[in-house]
Amino acid sequence: MQTRSEKQISEQQSESRQAPIFINDHVDNLSCPGSQVSSSKSSLSRITSAQSSLLRAQLKEKQLRQELELEKKLLKARHDVEMAELHVKLATDDERNIEEYERGSVIDNREQLERYVKDCAAMAGGDAPVTVRKSAVVEKLDMPKVEMSYFDGNGTDYLRFTKEFEYYVENRVKDPGQRMLYLLHYCKGRAKAAIQECVILRPESAYARAKGILQDLFGEIHVIARNRIEDMIRSLRPVAEDGESLSRLSIQLQNCLIALTEMNYLSDLNSVTTLERIVRILPIAVRRNWARLADARNQEGQEPSFQDLCQFVSTEARVARSRYGRLVSEGFNRPNAQVSPNRQGRHGGTSFAIQGERTPAPKRLCILCRSDHATASCQKFVGLDVRDRWSCVRRHRACFLCLEVGHRIDHCVSGIKCSKVHCSGKHHPLLHVEPVVNQVAEQGTCAATMHYGTAVMLGVIPVKVRARGKETDTYAFLDSGSDVTLVTKDLLSSLGLEGTPSSITLTTINGVSQVQGNMCELEVASMDENEVIRLDRVFALPSLPVNAPSLSVSQEARRWPHLQELPFRELDDKRVTMLIGCDVPEAHWVLDQRLGSRKQPYAIKTLLGWVLLGPLHGNTERGTVNYARISEDSIKDDIRSLREAELKDTEEIERSFSIEDRKASELVTQSTVLEKEHYIIPLPWKDPTKVTDNNYVVAINPLLNLKQRLSCDKNLLARYVDGVNTMLKNGYALPVPPEQLAANYRSSWYLPHHPVMKPKKPDKLRLVIDCARNFRGYSLNNKLYQGPDTIAELVGALLRFRGKPIGVVADIADMLMQVKVPVDDRGALRFLWWQDGWLGVGREELLRDASNPRTDLSEQLQ
């Protein structure tokens, strides 16, 4: 590229090269041999004059050369300035185009190149060809758009935000005012409120002042590090021995390690308490491997660090993700070949799907609600009666031990056992049925009863509970046998808290129960406020089954020499509204203790104060009750039974249901839904797999026969078309959606239909759907439970008719057709018909029956 300045320089150089030639020619003319000299004096004067002229010419040449060099330097400086202005203009265009691109305005690459060429040509000032390279803006436009995160004042995200801002904004934008505006844009919440007034300062000081404010408020390294560690520990959950769970834990630990290494704050991470908390959530087999690694470190004279644990968990996750690692947890599924059944219908054929790779393990879905959680943790399943749980498990053919589908109890490797006392049955604890104990009335007289008992302290201590600036005093029970911390809802109300609605599974000696409550966070402090413990997960219940201390602890402690000097505090309100479990281990630390002799009470010192435990009295209390009674209930009951048996009428013979009738009744009763004044009742399938064959050929032949019959009788055709149109108009039948016309779509069963007319009602035409038509040895009726016979007897109807002065006979139009079925069952109730009832149209339209046409299942709806 040659600019205007370069052209001027070249012209000046050509002029400078011609100047000496002119002087030399002049000298040659002076020294020409053809000149005549009259005398030596005149010749000498001419020579002197010529030398003077030569010197003047040389001096003029030197002056011209100096002027030429100065002009050349000026032209070169002008050229540099023009090139600098060109680069500045291009850089400005690049930034403007990038900003337009970030706002969503995409600039065409060809247009950018053409603009760049025009600018270069304009600066060159000529039509000479200009060589250009691909603009930087084009290269930047080819890159994906960067989405920078916002900072809302969360100290844990401060370092990550500052690094992103440095990479994305500071390295590209040099103007401090622009940096300040970007910083204000990417802050929100508390962070934005803290620096939004800095924009009124000078740009040089506004940006530095805003960064200093953010550093002071949210950038304290020790606070960020401690919060990061607490967040990691708070989010720890038990890990399963599979690659996915271990990988999630590995990523969590690696992120924490990277952040705290950058902050140079690894001391707390390397503590034994932190390492033990993480190791406790690992599977047993992984713990054993870590124990061997830690022992090897100890043998080398080193303590295991958090970095060692991160590397160990990463290795275990990589092994579990490998092909052989998956064999440990999932088992090996050999490649198999699946052959799809022949497609029945107009386009017959056979298709094969060969599967040569191992398929991933399916997600464990709840067998009841089909959600992504275990069946044992499903609230709906836990809320069912035990017998209903058994019915649900049997209906879905799930394992009785792990409640998972795909295997039986003989092949279950879960190792789950019933936790009930004296129960050796092979079933899940939620399927345990308490044996029925015959209650036998004891006949006799109790003459005397003696009661023995002592007062026992269970570890109740007064504490201060805080939340949201409020504080209250109450009694807390330190329960070392609980793995959860509980409070009463009254305590939350006194603190002005509501909590997050949640549920918890409580396992007690009375069984397993699902309890609804609220989850919240609290702080508990000792009465002298020297120690404060943070409770991250507290579950609120209506009440706690813990009795308040009935006796004065301080007075009873004075009776024992080893407890007299200890400061026990008491509250006026004796209610126990908090239970602190072992999920808060620091609350159970034993800092000191006072022990007496055997069978005497003792005291331990915790972070919350001194706790008294054990029996308070050395001797036992004894009470005696004298009691005498003569019972004549059994004789009276026998006389009453004899009298009623003589005067009692003949017993009515009760109708008993069969096993299939009972199953059908249970299915219909549990699944019936009332929606928009219509009942939705699922079909009572005997087999959950429903129908697997496509019986299209069974329905097409009767349809062709019906076509011939209707073609010969125009009156019958009009009435039949009117009947089908009425079903469509009333919503009793619906067109099949196009996506459900596939041959392998769920349940596809076609029902033949034909007209029926009664001799007594020749004008009334009834469309009858044949559910008993067989295909490959079975029909739709064979796949469904018939259901119990609930039709009222004639004697009962006549007696009710005579019971009142006036009898009314009523009928519900299309009663059975108004009872709908779910969407999943509609595919089994298809029938064929012509579009708009025009027999001349060759293609058939598939319609789906939206009602329940079976008359052999008549379930009474309450």
- Give the range among 36-50, 460-474, 709-723 with minimum mean pLDDT: 36-50
Q: Is the pLDDT of residue 223 over 60?
A: yes
Q: Which pLDDT band holds residue 667 (cuts at 50, 70, 90)?
A: confident
Average pLDDT of the segment spanning 26-50: 58
> Looking at per-residue confidence, does 641 or 246 come out higher?
246
**Confidence at residue 95, expressed as pLDDT on a 0 to 100 scale:** 62
The pLDDT tens digits for 269-288 are 788 888 888 888 888 888 88
614 neighbors 456 (Cβ within 8 angstroms): yes
- The domain ranges of the chain are 4-28+43-141, 155-219, 223-328, 365-428, 449-622, 661-849
Rounded CA gap, 845 and 356, in Å? 39
Average pLDDT of the segment spanning 459-464: 89
> Looking at per-residue confidence, does 485 or 808 come out higher?
485
**Region of 469 on the Ramachandran plot (φ > 0 left; ψ -120 to 50 alpha; else beta):** left
The pLDDT tens digits for 371-416 are 777 888 787 888 788 888 888 888 888 888 888 887 877 778 776 7
Q: Give the chain's mean pLDDT.
A: 74
Average pLDDT of the segment spanning 684-702: 77
Average pLDDT of the segment spanning 154-175: 85
Q: Which pLDDT band holds residue 113 (cuts at 50, 70, 90)?
A: low
Count helices and strands (H / E) in the chain.
Answer: 24, 22
DSSP-derived secondary structure letter, 201: S
Candidates 138, 139, 137; CA nearest to 93 is 137
DSSP string, 429-444: GGG--PPPPP-PPPP-
Rounded CA gap, 400 and 431, in Å? 8
Q: Is the pLDDT of residue 526 over 50?
A: yes
DSSP-derived secondary structure letter, 198: G
Rounded CA gap, 375 and 428, in Å? 11
**Confidence at residue 640, expressed as pLDDT on a 0 to 100 scale:** 65
Q: Which pLDDT band holds residue 823 (cuts at 50, 70, 90)?
A: confident
DSSP string, 38-105: S-HHHHHHHHHHHHHHHHHHHHHHHHHHHHHHHHHHHHHHHHHHHHHHHHHHHHHHHHHHHHHHHTT-
Average pLDDT of the segment spanning 122-148: 55
Reply yes or no on domain 449-622 having CATH 1.10.1660.10: no
Q: Is the pLDDT of residue 511 over 70?
A: no
Average pLDDT of the segment spanning 483-509: 83
473 neighbors 464 (Cβ within 8 angstroms): yes
Structure tokens at 313: 């968990």
Rounded CA gap, 329 and 327, in Å? 6
Structure tokens at 445: 């007289």
449 neighbors 625 (Cβ within 8 angstroms): yes
- Give the range among 142-146, 401-405, 550-554, 563-567 with minimum mean pLDDT: 142-146
610 neighbors 566 (Cβ within 8 angstroms): yes
Amino acid at 446: C
Rounded CA gap, 832 and 699, in Å? 7
Dihedral (CA of 42, 43, 49, 53) sign: positive
**Confidence at residue 187, expressed as pLDDT on a 0 to 100 scale:** 92
Candidates 281, 287, 290, 276; CA nearest to 237 is 281
Percent of the chain with pLDDT over 70: 71
Residues paired with residue 615 on neighbouring β-strands, in sequence order: 456
CA distances from 685 to 298, 339, 681, 819 (A): 64, 25, 12, 17
Average pLDDT of the segment spanning 191-205: 87
**Confidence at residue 464, expressed as pLDDT on a 0 to 100 scale:** 92
Q: Which pLDDT band holds residue 142 (cuts at 50, 70, 90)?
A: low
- Give the range among 706-715, 771-780, 786-795, 831-840 with minimum mean pLDDT: 831-840
Q: Is the pLDDT of residue 27 over 50?
A: no
Other Cβ atoms less than 10 A from the Cβ of 619: the count is 7
**Confidence at residue 832, expressed as pLDDT on a 0 to 100 scale:** 84
**Confidence at residue 550, expressed as pLDDT on a 0 to 100 scale:** 63
Structure tokens at 109: 């690459």
The pLDDT tens digits for 427-446 are 888 888 776 544 444 444 44
691 neighbors 828 (Cβ within 8 angstroms): yes
pTM, two decimals, is: 0.29
Candidates 690, 687, 848, 697; CA nearest to 775 is 697
Average pLDDT of the segment spanning 154-167: 85
Q: Is the pLDDT of residue 740 over 70?
A: yes
**Confidence at residue 606, expressed as pLDDT on a 0 to 100 scale:** 92
**Confidence at residue 449, expressed as pLDDT on a 0 to 100 scale:** 45
Candidates 524, 624, 623, 605; CA nearest to 565 is 605
**Confidence at residue 579, expressed as pLDDT on a 0 to 100 scale:** 92
Rounded CA gap, 269 and 321, in Å? 27
**Confidence at residue 463, expressed as pLDDT on a 0 to 100 scale:** 92
Dihedral in degrees, nearest 10, Cα atoms 513, 518, 521, 526: -70
528 neighbors 568 (Cβ within 8 angstroms): no
Amino acid at 830: R
**Confidence at residue 354, expressed as pLDDT on a 0 to 100 scale:** 30
Candidates 827, 819, 816, 822; CA nearest to 855 is 816
Q: Is the pLDDT of residue 219 over 60?
A: yes
Average pLDDT of the segment spanning 555-563: 82
